[in-house]
Amino acid sequence: MANDSMEKIGGLRERLMALRGHLDLDRKRSRIALIERESTLPTFWDDNTKAQAMLKEKSTLEASVGSFEKALRGLDDAQTLLELAAEMNDPASAQEAEDSLGAVEADIAKLELARMLSGEQDRSYCFMDINAGAGGTDSMDWAAMLMRMYTRYCEQRGWKVEINDSQEGEEAGFKNVSLRIEGEYAYGYLKAEVGVHRLVRISPFDANARRQTAFASVDVYPEVDDSIQIDIPEKDIELKFIRGGGAGGQKVNKTSSTAQLRHLPTGIIITCQTERSQSANKDMAFKILRGRLYELEMKKREAERDAAEAQKKDISFGSQIRSYVLAPYRMVKDLRTGVETGNVDAVLDGELESFVTAQLMGVKNPNRAASE
């Protein structure tokens, strides 16, 4: 067992060292030291926004460096314990060292995933649009189910979710719904969900209880901060304020404060009714538009950045990235990566980690053609 454990340690160390250059630890340590020095200056808090941004940056850098150092310490400790166990002929200590490698391997896997979240906007908050497709009332209900699934996933990660805009279906669910998701790396993770999602189940809206197929599309784009310049000429914008809809009761917007923004060159329409004031809704609408335009530009520059978006056709048969089958059997399968599970209820309750991670890590489904 000792030899096997030492080989495992060697393999894990190789994986960790392969990440060292990507993590750029020396630069990060230098930057941390610089921010620490600047934070002691009496003028540091003169610009409160800049100071808070620098402290947030320092915290992020420390977390990255700390994760690497924790994994390295874990490997060193396990190796030392194994060597002592061999000298003392102590099987219990050898087993303890072996057991500790599981946690170290998990830490290294997290670092490898972080490597895939190094895009310019991956750390950003994001917006998510869910649109019902083919399937009538079932597809609108499916859009609502997806909204609940992603809300649960975000809540599990400690992210905040709010509805920016929605258009309810005539009988159930949503024709479309737009969410704002506030959390570190929200865009980086959720961009893995872009595409068409297919549901197969016994329809609760069919009097004959027949099996129906419904589709809904998911699109995700980053919330672009003020450091990214997006030029939006005034002549390209058509802005108006309308009376918002709602679920009734206190949620009804009784004044014309809902902002509707149309970007004439692209035809993008943004509607925002989250806040009660025209000004706040206008600001959020422009923020959403900036994110949409940024994402469009990135897709032009890097067509391969999002294979799912490039492959997207109609929100119907032959274009889905993932199937959720509730009848005649129960299975969720991602057609891009091949990841699947029979625990459909857990997935619909937000357990998406295995699907998201596989997509971000570039796992490919060898049977993609057959799956579709």
Q: Which residue has the higher pLDDT, 38 or 230?
A: 38
What gap in Å lies between CA 154 and CA 216, rounded to an integer?
19
- Compute the distance between CA of residue 306 and CA of residue 292 in angstroms, rounded to an integer: 15
Q: Which one-letter amino acid corresponds to residue 357? A: T
The string of DSSP letters for 277-337 reads SHHHHHHHHHHHHHHHHHHHHHHHH-GGG-HHHHH--SSSTT-EEEEEE-SSS-EEEETTT
**Residue 230 pLDDT more than 90?**
no
Composition of the chain by helix, strand, coil, percent to 5? 50, 20, 30
Measured in whole angstroms, how far is the alpha carbon of residue 196 from the centre of its chain? 16
pLDDT, tens only, 107-144 = 998 888 878 887 778 888 999 999 999 888 999 999 99
Give percent of the chain with pLDDT exceeding 90. 43
| 291's tokens | 């994110």
| Mean pLDDT of the 215-224 span | 90
What rounded mean pLDDT belongs to the chain?
84
Tokens of residue 322, six digits? 């993932």
Dihedrals phi, psi of 162, to nearest 5 degrees = -140, 150
Q: Are 73 and 40 in contact (CB under 8 A)?
A: no
**Which tokens go with 227?**
């450091």
If you average pLDDT over residues 210-229, what whole number do you get?
83
CB 292 within 8 A of CB 301: no
CA-based nearest residue to 285, from 298, 271, 274, 301: 271
pLDDT of residue 227: 55
pLDDT-based confidence at residue 372 (cuts at 50, 70, 90): very low
Terminal CA-CA length for the chain: 44
Mention every residue, 6+ apart, whose C-beta is less than 8 A from residue 149.
Answer: 347, 348, 349, 350, 352
Q: What is the pLDDT of residues 54-97, one digit of tens each?
A: 998 898 889 889 999 999 999 999 999 999 988 888 889 888 98
Read off the pLDDT of residues 269-320 as tens digits, 9 standing for 90 and up: 888 877 768 888 888 888 888 888 877 777 776 654 444 344 444 555 556 8
Per the CB < 8 A criterion, the answer to whether 360 and 117 are in contact is yes
State if pTM tops 0.85.
Answer: no
Q: Residue 194's pLDDT is what?
A: 92
- What pLDDT, on the 0 to 100 scale, is given for residue 353? 92
**Predicted confidence band of residue 244 (pLDDT cuts 50, 70, 90):** low
For residue 128, give the nearest of 44, 222, 50 by alpha carbon: 222
Give which of 364, 244, 203, 222 is closest to 293, Cα–Cα: 222
CA distance 256 to 240: 9
The average pLDDT across 336-355 equals 95
> Residue 53 has what pLDDT?
85
